[in-house]
């Protein structure tokens, strides 16, 4: 009987310990889809997310507390988060400052380089229920980045137009994460010198800069629309990337980089192939 009592006590102690551990997991809210992806990469399951947080699949079942119109301050307070992850490029400063004044800890995250994406995952380890796993994921992402940098250390260089939309038509300047990905893969952004991060450009401005390739987001339908838009003046290859991979500053930006580098270099002129590093 004493032995049985001891076993029951041990099991009860373990159950209590596991329960306490689960209760101690930090409560995190994310206010942008990319921040949701960064949180999950750090093994954090948020208690509240923004609209369009659709990756990974588990994010679809989490309560929405923010959208393009703003954030639901009252609901966020009700959820009693330990920390709120905010995006400086998209969340309203006034409402986020209101959260801070009400005693909510806010961390602003806005990765502007591939290395900062990796570092963002590593920095979130302190809020993860499994910090070691978060560190491991950050190391895995860093290894992917290092491999890309090694593989494409000497790529073929070509002038490229980063095209987002048709009417109006926007592009990305040199101080954007998208431009860094393009540069890694051997693309020379024809609007890298723009003073505005996301300038609206005209058809004539693009044609005068003579791009040899267009990079956009979407699928075959988007490629067909862009091809028709530029006929007959501009007949160049078009590379279409997954929109969420390339547009969001989250872990999947490395998937966009892998896809872009592979397509950009495999499509490079044969006369320049000798400059591409090979395994």
- Is residue 274 in some structural domain? no
Bigger pLDDT: 153 vs 277: 153
Report the DSSP beta bridge partners of residue 72.
none
Which tens digits make up the pLDDT trace of 65-102?
A: 999 889 999 999 999 999 999 998 789 999 999 999 99
Residues 35 and 126 in one domain: yes
**What is the C-alpha to C-alpha distance for residues 136 and 121, in angstroms, rounded to an integer?**
10
Question: Domain ends where: 142, 164, 192?
Answer: 142
Question: Domain ends where: 142, 169, 203?
Answer: 142
User: Does 152 belong to an annotated binding site?
Assistant: no
Range of the domain at 95: 21-142
Reply yes or no on whether the pLDDT at 9 is more than 70: no
Helices and strands (H and E) in the chain: how many: 11, 10
Residue range 260-266: average pLDDT?
92
CATH number, domain containing residue 251: 3.40.50.1980
- Is residue 230 in some structural domain? yes
CA angle 174, 68, 92 (to 5 degrees): 75
CA angle 209, 89, 245 (to 5 degrees): 65
The structural domain count of the chain equals 2
- Is residue 168 in some structural domain? yes
pLDDT of residue 270: 46
For 263, the 3-state DSSP assignment is: helix
| Residue 46, C-beta contacts closer than 8 angstroms, at least 6 positions apart | 28, 29, 30, 36, 39, 59, 62
- Of the chain, the percentage scoring pLDDT greater than 70 comes to 87
């Amino acid at each position: 009987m004493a032995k049985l009592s001891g076993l029951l006590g041990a099991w009860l102690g373990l159950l209590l310990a596991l329960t306490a551990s689960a209760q101690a997991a930090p409560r995190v809210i994310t206010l942008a889809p990319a921040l949701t992806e960064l949180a999950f990469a750090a093994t954090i399951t948020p208690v509240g997310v923004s609209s369009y947080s659709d990756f990974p699949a588990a994010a679809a079942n989490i309560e929405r507390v923010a959208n393009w119109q703003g954030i639901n301050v009252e609901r966020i307070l009700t959820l009693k988060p330990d920390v709120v992850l905010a995006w400086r490029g998209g969340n309203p400063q006034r409402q986020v400052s209101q959260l801070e004044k009400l005693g909510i800890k806010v961390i602003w995250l806005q990765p502007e380089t591939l290395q900062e994406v990796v570092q963002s995952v590593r920095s979130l380890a302190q809020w993860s229920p499994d910090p070691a796993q978060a560190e491991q994921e950050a190391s895995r992402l860093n290894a992917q980045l290092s491999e890309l940098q090694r593989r494409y250390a000497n790529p073929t260089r070509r002038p490229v137009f980063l095209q987002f939309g048709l009417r109006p038509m926007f592009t990305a300047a040199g101080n954007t994460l998208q431009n860094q990905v393009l540069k890694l893969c051997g693309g020379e952004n024809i609007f890298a010198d723009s003073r505005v991060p996301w300038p609206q450009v005209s058809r004539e401005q693009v044609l005068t800069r003579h791009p040899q390739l267009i990079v956009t987001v979407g699928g075959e339908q988007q490629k067909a629309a862009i091809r028709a838009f530029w006929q007959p003046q501009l007949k160049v290859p078009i590379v279409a990337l997954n929109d969420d991979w390339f547009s969001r500053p989250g872990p999947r930006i490395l998937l966009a980089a892998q896809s872009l580098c592979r397509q950009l270099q495999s499509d490079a002129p044969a006369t320049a192939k000798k400059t591409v590093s090979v395994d």
